[in-house]
Structure 1
Amino acid sequence: MVAEEVVPVLRVTDAAVALRWYQRLGFALEWEHRFEPGFPTFMEIGRGPIRLFLSEHTGDARPDTLVYLRVRDVDAVAAEFGAAVEEAPWARETELRDPDGNRLRVGTPKA
């Protein structure tokens, strides 16, 4: 049985470079596809139950997209990237930009 879920699509110019960056966030490659050698890559990456699609196809998504990730330990994520953690009423958060300018707001909800 397939679990229902939402999987955001992020536009990337070089999927291999993007994958290495997302691996620093704890994501792993699930699968990748290209129709022929030299064609754009489309891949799925995952971190536990979180999934993202990364696409080199120009029409799939707009650059500068914002995705919110809820994680158990925002401090560990911020430390990996040398980013500051800020207090919001709903969570402790940090904001990152991937190599293509996509924004990721990463937060740990307050109890």
Structure 2
Amino acid sequence: MDEEVIPILHVTDATASVRWYGRLGFGKQWQHRFEPGFPAFVEIARGQVRLFLSEHEGDARPGTLVYLRVRDVEALAAEFGLEPETAPWAREIELTDPDGNRLRIGTPIG
């Protein structure tokens, strides 16, 4: 098993969040609820990049900033109607998901 870090983002509606993150190329891997009607805990993935989305109170704070390094920020920018900005290290966009979590997404320069 490879060691990794998987950020946990707090969401209020996991189903809606899975759809929103789908626009970034993430797909739902699995979902857990202790019982029907209880908060959901979901894993989404885009290639080897994974995120956990949690409806559980206290798992994470809204406003968290996650940096995603991708091969083609231009395509994701187009999906959201944005123009990437050029920083010394990457072409980047910044998005905020429906729950206030921030995503900075970049393709390295060079």
Tell me the TM-score normalised to structure 1 length. Answer: 0.97
**Is 2:19 aligned against 1:58?**
no
Cα distance in 1 for partners of 2:19, 2:66 equals: 18
Looking at structure 2, the residues matched to 23 and 10 of structure 1 have their Cα atoms a distance apart, in angstroms, of 15
Shift of 1:84: 2.1
Distance across 2 between alignment mates of 1:61 and 1:25: 21
Q: Give the equivalent residue in structure 1 for 2:69.
A: 70
In the alignment, the residues of structure 2 paired with residue 93 and residue 45 of structure 1 have an alpha-carbon distance, to the nearest angstrom, of 22
Structure 1 segment 29-68 matched on structure 2, within 5 A:
29-68=28-67
SS in structure 2 of the partner of residue 94 of structure 1: strand
Q: Which amino acid aligns with 1:86?
A: E
Q: Quote the Cα distance in structure 2 between the aligned partners of 1:62 and 1:84.
A: 28
Matches of 2:39 and 2:63, distance apart in 1: 19
Q: Distance in 2 between matches of 1:22 and 1:15?
A: 10
Looking at structure 2, the residues matched to 59 and 35 of structure 1 have their Cα atoms a distance apart, in angstroms, of: 16
Instruction: Give the partner amino acid of 2:31.
Output: E
2:72 aligned partner, one-letter code: D
Q: CA deviation at 1:38?
A: 0.5
TM superposition outliers: structure 1 runs of 4+ over 3 Å: none
Letter in 2 for 1:23: G
Question: Could you say what the CA RMSD is over the residues aligned between the two structures, in angstroms?
Answer: 0.5
Uncovered stretches (5+) of structure 2, i.e. residues with no partner: none
2:17 alignment partner, SS class:
helix
Q: Residue in 1 aligned with 2:12?
A: 13
Corresponding position of 2:80? 81
Q: CA deviation at 1:92?
A: 0.3
Identity %: 71
Measured in 1, the distance between the counterparts of 2:33 and 2:70 equals 31
Structure 1 unaligned segments of length 5 or more: list them: none
Task: Name the count of aligned residue pairs.
Answer: 110
